[in-house]
Amino acid sequence: MWRHTLGDPSVIVGIYESPPDLSHPCLADADLEARTPWWSPAGPVDDRLREHGTFTASVVFGRPGTVLPGLAPHCRGVIIGDTRPEHPDLPPDPWHTARAVEELLDAGAHIIQFNISHHTASADTDEMLKRAIARAVDAGVLVTAAAGNDYGACVVAPALLPGVLVVGAHRADGAISSYSNYGPAYAGHGITALGEAVLGATPGDGGVKARKGTCTAVALVTGAAALLVSMQRHLGRRADPLAVRDALLATARPCTAEQAHGNPARCLNGYLDLPAATAHLFPDLTTPPPPEAVLPTPAAAFPSPPRPGTSEHGRHPATPATAFVVRPLRRPERSPDQIEATEKADGPYQGPQEASRAADLRARTFVTRPHRPLAAPAGSLAADPFAGGS
């Protein structure tokens, strides 16, 4: 893909995330706009939130030639920075998420990514959020959302909503990560991507750090989707993000029973397979000679789980020099129960939401907190931007 495009500047990727550190060397020259939402209380950004936002931005937009080249560095990014200064460990109000969708639509986003999610035990969510997501999908926008890291058959919003591309996580050896959520609400509209040992930028020190989780996996899928939409523009076609979504779903590679720990639902539609999706969308595409001065990393940088029956199955692949490095790990063969016990013992995930996972969130019958209306500044969205119809 990088031999054809590093991303098209006319392709806009919107992300609802924590504010990134745009001074990081890999982001300093990126075409990124970080917006502070008027509906979010002003205040300092929690260090964990800043780290999460910086990591996500670098995986997608990291500049070529820097310590951390991203997947679609020439695309334009608009990041709505959720701060939550008073309660950084709690997810935001769904109304705030809906407002972020509306603002990103106004910004012309072709793809909208959600790392921020809302827990629910009812497979339902706030009506305003449902209307916002439906409006985005109806407008032809590809919405990607993390499946969540709650170790089981439970779902989160907006991932559970129709039309959203849900992204779960798998390990480098192809096994589905035990923390990756699944459930009937995800059936038919989800894929899995690499969710461990992925490198991203860290704020403040210009460094890099490995992370894991479905939030990591969804950034890889967003970057891959941005490249595919950019390829449409590169070939003179109109941008069609929903065709990209459908291609990613149609070409997802199925898991084996072993990789899915005996439960096929955990694999969603299957593994992300970018070469197959590219061939599906562009069957006549030929690969030009590689412009060595332009390519940020080797083509092997798009990792795919080892195929059963190959010499690589059950082993970690070699480490590619890229934003989502797979570190060679040496693990003995383990049963699914041993895998789950070990991963649970790894401690809390590094994302801001994982730190707030609690039994009461999973036991609730509905997702939302009582909405406290905020006074909207002059010229901004009304308290309910969707009043009067969907």
The CA distance from 318 to 369, in Å, is: 45
- Range of lowest pLDDT (38-42, 224-228, 244-248): 38-42
pLDDT band at 303 (very low <50, low <70, confident <90, very high): low
Beta-strand relationship, 76-81 and 155-157: unpaired
Say whether pLDDT at 144 is over 50. Answer: yes
CB atoms within 10 A of CB 4: 16
The CA distance from 150 to 285, in Å, is: 40
The whole-number pLDDT of residue 379 equals 39
Over residues 47-69, the mean pLDDT reads 93
Say whether pLDDT at 372 is over 50. Answer: no
Among 172, 222, 205, 167, smallest CA distance to 57 is for 222
N residues, the chain: 390
CB 38 within 8 A of CB 137: no
Digit-coded pLDDT (tens) for 145-161: 999 999 988 899 999 99
pLDDT band at 304 (very low <50, low <70, confident <90, very high): low
The whole-number pLDDT of residue 46 equals 78
Residue 267's CATH number: 3.40.50.200
The whole-number pLDDT of residue 121 equals 78
Bridge partners of 109? Answer: none
Could you identify the residue written with the tokens 């959600």? 114
CB atoms within 10 A of CB 339: 17
Say whether pLDDT at 290 is over 50. Answer: yes
Of the spans 36-40, 134-138, 303-307, 315-319, which averages the highest pLDDT?
A: 134-138
Over residues 163-185, the mean pLDDT reads 96
Q: Looking at the domain assignment, is residue 2 inside a domain?
A: no
Q: Looking at the domain assignment, is residue 310 inside a domain?
A: no
Q: Looking at the domain assignment, is residue 103 inside a domain?
A: yes
Over residues 187-215, the mean pLDDT reads 94
Q: Looking at the domain assignment, is residue 129 inside a domain?
A: yes
Over residues 312-328, the mean pLDDT reads 36
Q: Looking at the domain assignment, is residue 142 inside a domain?
A: yes
Say whether pLDDT at 170 is over 60. Answer: yes
The whole-number pLDDT of residue 316 equals 35
Of the spans 44-58, 60-74, 374-388, which averages the highest pLDDT?
A: 60-74
Share of the chain above pLDDT 70, in %: 70
Q: Looking at the domain assignment, is residue 382 inside a domain?
A: no
Over residues 85-91, the mean pLDDT reads 61
SS (H, E, C) the chain: CCCCCCCCCCCEEEEEECCCCCCCCCCCCCCEEEECCCCCCCCCCCHHHHHHHHHHHHHHHCCCCCCCCCCCCCCEEEEEECCCCCCCCCCCCHHHHHHHHHHHHHCCCCEEEECCCEEECCCCCCHHHHHHHHHHHHCCCEEEEECCCCCCCCEEECCCCCCCEEEEEECCCCCECCCCCCCHHHCCCEEEEECCCEEEECCCCCCEEEECCHHHHHHHHHHHHHHHHHHHHHCCCCCCHHHHHHHHHHCCECCCCCCCCCCHHHHCCCECCHHHHHHHHCCCCCCCCCCCCCCCCCHHHCCCCCCCCCCCCCCCCCCCCCCCCCCCCCCCCCCHHHHHHHHHCCCCCCCCCHHHCCHHHHHCCCCCCCCCCCCCCCCCCCCCCCCCCC
Q: Half-sphere exposure (CA, 13 Å, Cβ side) for 158?
A: 33
Could you identify the residue written with the tokens 């009506």? 127
Q: Looking at the domain assignment, is residue 282 inside a domain?
A: yes
Share of the chain above pLDDT 90, in %: 58
The CA distance from 25 to 206, in Å, is: 6
Beta-strand relationship, 12-17 and 111-114: parallel
Say whether pLDDT at 292 is over 60. Answer: no
Digit-coded pLDDT (tens) for 264-282: 999 999 999 999 999 999 9
Over residues 221-233, the mean pLDDT reads 98
Q: What is the mean pLDDT of the chain?
A: 79
The whole-number pLDDT of residue 87 equals 62
The CA distance from 234 to 228, in Å, is: 10
The whole-number pLDDT of residue 181 equals 96
Among 168, 172, 169, smallest CA distance to 319 is for 172
Q: Looking at the domain assignment, is residue 201 inside a domain?
A: yes
Domain carrying residue 320: 12-305+315-363
Cβ contacts of 236 within 8 Å, gap of 6 or more: none
Number of domains in the chain: 1
The whole-number pLDDT of residue 333 equals 42
- Range of lowest pLDDT (118-127, 213-222, 250-259): 118-127
pLDDT band at 357 (very low <50, low <70, confident <90, very high): very low
CB 222 within 8 A of CB 252: no
Say whether pLDDT at 351 is over 50. Answer: no
Say whether pLDDT at 368 is over 90. Answer: no
Over residues 307-325, the mean pLDDT reads 41
Over residues 69-77, the mean pLDDT reads 97
The whole-number pLDDT of residue 301 equals 45
The CA distance from 323 to 310, in Å, is: 26
Query: 96 or 368: whose pLDDT is higher?
Result: 96
